[in-house]
């Protein structure tokens, strides 16, 4: 019997999930199940028109839209949305969009305990987690609370068909990062291991097909399925070095969320490789590669995703600051974070060099 089967804890989070093409048509029915009468529909500015269409599907209710969601869930944006929620005495939230919008909805739910319907249009996966990251004063802080979990998640493949291949790539690799890190999380368990491996296989297989043909419905379906599983992984176990690095970089330098995860993932995996040989062995099989960290680096290149922090706008002098942030409050990790090694990791990630096992 393997050690992981001897003793473990598995947390299953409640959520109603509806998956399939055209499932957004059920948003009114789902709102009825929750008894919602006064709904705030949330989106980012570019998706304001689409959010208005969602409002029309809730026409028998009093609806208002807030289209100011932005990356990293800044507290000041949450406070602006909260004013609207209180002004209209909203009894529910509908989040239409990617991680930025769903993050705003979750931040509002934390403060109000209002029920949420999440309608993801990317592969972020955060809708399946009790984790909220908020930016304030140049730092991104994360917390866990069951209050931020949406009551309903609607996965409509049709809503992802227009997601540009470039955004599909970074969103998808961001999702893969959740599953990869779940395999060596401090509180890993066999249930999440199976979910993670299935998720990585689905997403890594779908992304090159989407890059070649963004209208490939089969690939889009597999990617959205993989994103769902990746989110479940992130929501069920803790985070480690990869997420700590990304949170430090995103909060300190306002780097784009999914792109930062895409750049960091191969390097974080390579850093931990010597400490988790069993995970590396399983990833070799799933990714059909002798070196999983290199395979993920090459996947990013194959689908046209950025592979350097420099390309994301990070200043090279920020490496020392990021190193200090990681070491000041590290997450549990299978290999102890070491200053020189973390600095070297960040230098390679900054320059877009392939990952190495330090």
d(CA 151, CA 127): 10
Domain of residue 28 covers 16-160
Is the pLDDT at 16 greater than 60? The verdict is: yes
Give the pLDDT score at 133: 86
Domain boundary among the residues 160, 193, 222 is at 160
Mean pLDDT along residues 209-232: 96
Q: Let me know if residue 152 belongs to a domain.
A: yes
pLDDT tens digits, residue range 317-335? 999 999 999 999 889 999 9
Is the pLDDT at 220 greater than 60? The verdict is: yes
Its sign, for the CA torsion 258, 104, 48, 91, is positive
CA 338 to chain centre: 26
Same domain, 169 and 261: yes
Q: Let me know if residue 140 belongs to a domain.
A: yes
CATH number where 281 lies: 1.20.1090.10
Is the pLDDT at 124 greater than 80? The verdict is: yes
Is the pLDDT at 135 greater than 90? The verdict is: no
Give the pLDDT score at 1: 38
92: which residues sit within 8 A by CB, 6+ positions away? 31, 34, 36, 38, 39, 40, 114, 115, 116, 117
Mean pLDDT along residues 133-161: 89
The model's confidence at residue 141, banded by pLDDT at 50, 70 and 90, is confident
The model's confidence at residue 131, banded by pLDDT at 50, 70 and 90, is confident
Is the pLDDT at 2 greater than 70? The verdict is: no
Write down how long the chain is. Answer: 358
Is the pLDDT at 8 greater than 80? The verdict is: no
Same domain, 135 and 193: no
Q: Let me know if residue 323 belongs to a domain.
A: yes
Secondary structure, 3-state, the chain: CCHHHHCCCCCCCCCEEEECCCHHHHHHHHHHHHCCCEEEEECCHHHHHHHHHHHHHCCCCEEEEECCCCCCCEHHHHHHHHHHHHHCCCCEEEEEECHHHHHHHHHHHHHHCCCEEEEECCCCCHHHCCEEEEEECCEEEEEECHHHCCCEEEECHHHHCCCCHHHHHHHHHHHHHHHHHHCCCCCCCHHHHHHHHHHHHHHHHHHHHHHHCCCCHHHHHHHHHHHHHHHHHHHHCCCCHHHHHHHHHHHHHCCCHHHHHHHHHHHHHHHHHHHCHHHHHHHHHHHCCCCHHHHHHHHHHHCCCCCCCHHHCCCCCHHHHHHHHHHHCCCCCCCCCCHHHHHHHHHHHHHCCCCCCC
Same domain, 118 and 198: no
Is the pLDDT at 313 greater than 50? The verdict is: yes
Give the pLDDT score at 142: 81
How many separate domains does the chain show?
2
Same domain, 65 and 23: yes
Contact 282, 197 (CB under 8 A): yes
Q: Let me know if residue 3 belongs to a domain.
A: no
CB atoms within 10 A of CB 330: 14
Give the pLDDT score at 144: 86
Distances from the Cα of 54 to the Cα of 42, 106, 125, 127, 357, angstroms: 10, 19, 20, 18, 47
Q: Let me know if residue 266 belongs to a domain.
A: yes
Domain boundary among the residues 139, 160, 181 is at 160
Q: Name the pTM for this structure.
A: 0.90
Q: Let me know if residue 6 belongs to a domain.
A: no
Is the pLDDT at 14 greater than 80? The verdict is: no
d(CA 272, CA 214): 33
Average pLDDT, the chain: 93
pLDDT tens digits, residue range 26-80? 999 999 999 999 999 999 999 999 999 999 898 878 889 999 999 889 999 999 9
d(CA 326, CA 339): 9
CATH number where 24 lies: 3.40.50.1970
Please identify which residue in the block is written with the tokens 């998706």. Answer: 47
Least confident segment among 139-148, 244-253, 315-324: 139-148
Is the pLDDT at 274 greater than 60? The verdict is: yes
Domain boundary among the residues 104, 139, 160 is at 160
Least confident segment among 53-62, 203-212, 281-290, 336-345: 53-62
Say what percent of the chain tops pLDDT 70.
97
Is the pLDDT at 5 greater than 90? The verdict is: no
Mean pLDDT along residues 121-144: 85
Q: Let me know if residue 344 belongs to a domain.
A: yes
Least confident segment among 9-18, 23-32, 166-175: 9-18
Contact 220, 206 (CB under 8 A): yes
Of 132, 98, 118, 149, the C-alpha closest to 18 is 118
Q: Let me know if residue 332 belongs to a domain.
A: yes
Strand order in the sheet with 92-97: 16-19, 152-155, 116-120, 92-97, 38-42, 62-66
């Amino acid at each position: 019997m393997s050690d992981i089967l001897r003793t473990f804890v598995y947390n299953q989070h409640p959520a109603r999930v509806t998956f399939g093409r055209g499932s957004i048509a059920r948003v009114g029915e789902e709102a009825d199940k929750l008894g919602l009468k006064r709904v705030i529909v949330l989106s980012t500015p570019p998706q304001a028109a689409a959010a208005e269409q969602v409002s029309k599907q809730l026409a028998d209710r009093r609806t208002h839209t807030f289209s100011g969601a932005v990356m990293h869930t800044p507290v000041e944006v949450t406070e602006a949305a909260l004013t609207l929620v209180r002004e209209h005495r909203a009894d529910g939230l509908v989040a239409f969009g990617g991680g930025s919008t769903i993050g705003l909805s979750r931040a509002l739910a934390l403060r109000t305990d209002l029920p949420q319907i999440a309608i993801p249009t990317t592969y972020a996966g955060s809708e399946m987690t009790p984790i909220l990251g908020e930016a304030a004063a140049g730092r991104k802080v994360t917390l866990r609370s069951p209050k931020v979990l949406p009551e309903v998640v609607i996965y409509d493949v049709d809503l992802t068909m227009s997601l540009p291949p470039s955004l599909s790539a970074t969103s998808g690799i961001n999702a893969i990062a959740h599953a990869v890190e779940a395999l060596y999380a401090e509180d890993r368990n066999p249930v999440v291991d199976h979910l993670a491996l299935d998720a990585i296989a689905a997403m890594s297989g779908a992304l090159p097909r989407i890059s070649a043909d963004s209208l490939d419905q089969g690939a889009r379906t597999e990617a959205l399925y993989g994103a769902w599983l990746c989110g479940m992984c992130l929501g069920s176990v803790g985070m480690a070095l990869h997420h700590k690095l990304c949170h430090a970089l995103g909060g300190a330098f306002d780097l784009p969320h999914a792109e930062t995860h895409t750049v960091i993932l191969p390097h974080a995996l390579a850093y931990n490789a010597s400490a988790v040989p069993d995970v590396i062995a399983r990833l070799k099989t799933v990714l059909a590669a002798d070196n999983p960290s290199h395979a993920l680096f090459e996947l990013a290149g194959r689908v046209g995703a950025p592979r350097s922090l420099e390309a994301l706008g990070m200043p090279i002098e920020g490496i020392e600051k990021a190193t200090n942030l990681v070491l000041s409050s590290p997450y549990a990790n299978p290999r102890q974070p070491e200053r020189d090694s973390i600095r070297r990791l960040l230098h390679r990630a900054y320059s877009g060099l392939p990952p190495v096992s330090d």
